[in-house]
Structure 1
């Protein structure tokens, strides 16, 4: 627990400064059981899934809290350190945070027929489970890019940013890895996967690319034309917006496409762990997964599912799943994280 305490002090806001992004109640106030669900998932995306779940369980109420990934990690770690469980189920897109929490003894164990359906790379120690399947995509403004300019790969993106007079200078955006735990995970995964990573960091810095916090903000500004391209955006959010806005196009990079699974954990000592187990089993059930797929939280590239993601080349060589395993603990190592962030700051000096 000492390492978690040091991380909390050095890297993130104090517990007193943490605030939820929003909260919502589902189900009857007088329900026999209540599940406190804390998640990084936008409520607008997850709402139909929760509503379907509670509609079939009139004895159940869900209190939903939406958090930023860094704050959710910090809060869950503080709860763990103090021997309490403020939530019954925690779901985060920042899978490296969740691996760390499990490694520090903050999770309860559970196994069921539903959890047994997961492939080995999406479950760890019977304490962490991958509940979604979301490609990490490029979003671009189809009205403002010619077909020749569409960056089908990271190499193409480098070519767009290389000229000193590039019209893409200052108009490519990605997550700020210090503000977004998800952004850190995706950038770190890129650094392990791509020979282009160093070149991209240099090109981002030289061309004045933008690093910002949130999927919605990035996608909105691509739609408006303020940004022309967004790099490393979660496909779930991009798809939902692209279906509503014909200016937006979404593609899976052809050199490789990261596939993220949001990680679910039942905190140790949760008073509502029984109900949380039922909710977890629902999310992993056929009905639950159908609901997640309807909300673009499960996307299968290249299967003719009408996802509107542009795919180039064979899917079997395209996808790079981010597995739930101890490899992600490297992303939580204090020294390695500091080195990585210093490199990031060099690429985005305007943030500091």
Structure 2
């Protein structure tokens, strides 16, 4: 671990003061059996997959609730601790939250030939499974950046910010890690890479980069030219935005690769259906649909140009519990807040 991060081990992010609230809800199917799924995945992106599962299971009416990652974690944790009836399935991109929930005995076990075939970094304790393959990318405006101006790795990105600070001033964006569980996860993963994290924070501060909440807002800002570069956004969101002016780079030094975590909550009324759903999501048919939706990326070096050694899979394992360590989390948020000149944390 780099020396500058040692003080990072000494400062608790407080929970939001407002009650958790879902962002959107839709239904699939019209059967007699109700099934509740809560997820951070945009309904518009996953709709074809859920439509197909509903068609294969006509006895179901599936209520699909879309949540922000922090609110989804708060609700899932509270359901578990209070004994309230939980959702039947939870799917989240903030996999550190999911590892915490499983570790806190909030998940129900399930095992099949399909789940057992997953690699170790995509399953844990037969209670958590990674169902997608999504790289974190550098998105950029194709009209305003081209050729050698497009940073292919973090070292080139740092050089660009140092060489042209006025050009990039207030035109680089990334997630607000206090608001985005996914953004926090990526920042934490970056902090474990010894050579660039501190320099990135310095570079972001120098050019007054922008931290904001939402993938859609960031990507739209790149398309419009308000931002030249967006750092650490999920490639699936860039692909689904389908904006011709937005290009994306898988950083050559290392690329973080996320698998959204799927869990069957303890006490789920339809745990059997939830098991069938995870098997379906991991089936060849659904994986092909998820690939078309941008949620599965084939990591063949011939197609991506990314060396195997540059892949950094975010593992579904107890190592992610460290990401929720109260002292580490608070200090990382403090450093981030200082970098982006946000309001002081409570």
- The TM tier, using the shorter chain, reads over 0.9
CA distance in 2, matches of 1:24, 1:193: 40
Structure 1 equivalent of residue 322 of structure 2: 330
Unaligned runs of 5+ in 1: 1-8, 306-310
CA distance in 2, matches of 1:263, 1:232: 19
Structure 1 residue 251: deviation in Å? 1.0
Structure 2 equivalent of residue 4 of structure 1: none
Contact 2:252/2:307 (<8 A) preserved: no
Question: Cα distance 1:165–1:133, how it changes in 2: closer, same or farther (>3 A)?
Answer: closer
Question: Cα distance 1:34–1:320, how it changes in 2: closer, same or farther (>3 A)?
Answer: same
Structure 1 residue 121: deviation in Å? 1.1
Counterpart mapping for 1:91-110 below 5 A: 91-110=91-110
CA distance in 1, matches of 2:84, 2:291: 33
Size of the aligned set, in residue pairs, is 333
1:344 to 314, 332, 336: 336
Structure 2 equivalent of residue 223 of structure 1: 223
Residue by residue over 1:306-333, the C-alpha shift from the partner in whole angstroms, topping out at 9 and shown as x without a partner, is: xxxxx44x43122110000111000111
Structure 1 equivalent of residue 28 of structure 2: 26
TM-score by length of 2: 0.93
Structure 2 equivalent of residue 308 of structure 1: none
Matched, 1:156 2:156: yes
Contact 2:25/2:63 (<8 A) preserved: yes
CA distance in 1, matches of 2:244, 2:332: 37
SS at 2:248 equivalent? strand
Contact 1:34/1:275 (<8 A) preserved: no
SS at 1:349 equivalent? coil
Structure 1 residue 291: deviation in Å? 1.4
CA distance in 1, matches of 2:153, 2:20: 38
Report which structure shows greater RCO (CA 8 Å, sep ≥6).
2
SS at 1:114 equivalent? helix
Counterpart mapping for 1:109-258 below 5 A: 109-163=109-163, 165-241=165-241, 244-258=242-256
Structure 2 equivalent of residue 13 of structure 1: 16
CA distance in 2, matches of 1:122, 1:279: 16
Matched, 1:283 2:281: yes
Residue by residue over 1:196-228, the C-alpha shift from the partner in whole angstroms, topping out at 9 and shown as x without a partner, is: 000001111121000001110000000000000
Superposition RMSD in Å: 1.6
Structure 1 equivalent of residue 36 of structure 2: 36
Structure 1 residue 293: deviation in Å? 1.2
CA distance in 2, matches of 1:323, 1:152: 24
SS at 2:64 equivalent? strand
CA distance in 2, matches of 1:315, 1:192: 20
CA distance in 2, matches of 1:10, 1:180: 13
SS at 1:53 equivalent? helix
Question: Cα distance 1:338–1:10, how it changes in 2: closer, same or farther (>3 A)?
Answer: closer
Structure 1 equivalent of residue 297 of structure 2: 299
Structure 1 residue 340: deviation in Å? 1.1
Unaligned runs of 5+ in 2: 1-11
TM-score by length of 1: 0.91
Contact 1:301/1:315 (<8 A) preserved: no
CA distance in 1, matches of 2:285, 2:147: 39
SS at 1:341 equivalent? helix
Structure 2 equivalent of residue 269 of structure 1: 267
Question: Cα distance 1:296–1:260, how it changes in 2: closer, same or farther (>3 A)?
Answer: same
CA distance in 2, matches of 1:204, 1:160: 11
Instruction: After the TM superposition, list the runs of 4 or more consecutive aligned residues in structure 1 that deviate by more than 4 angstroms.
Output: none
Structure 1 residue 164: deviation in Å? 6.5
Contact 1:69/1:92 (<8 A) preserved: yes
Structure 1 residue 139: deviation in Å? 0.5
Structure 1 equivalent of residue 9 of structure 2: none
Structure 1 residue 345: deviation in Å? 1.4
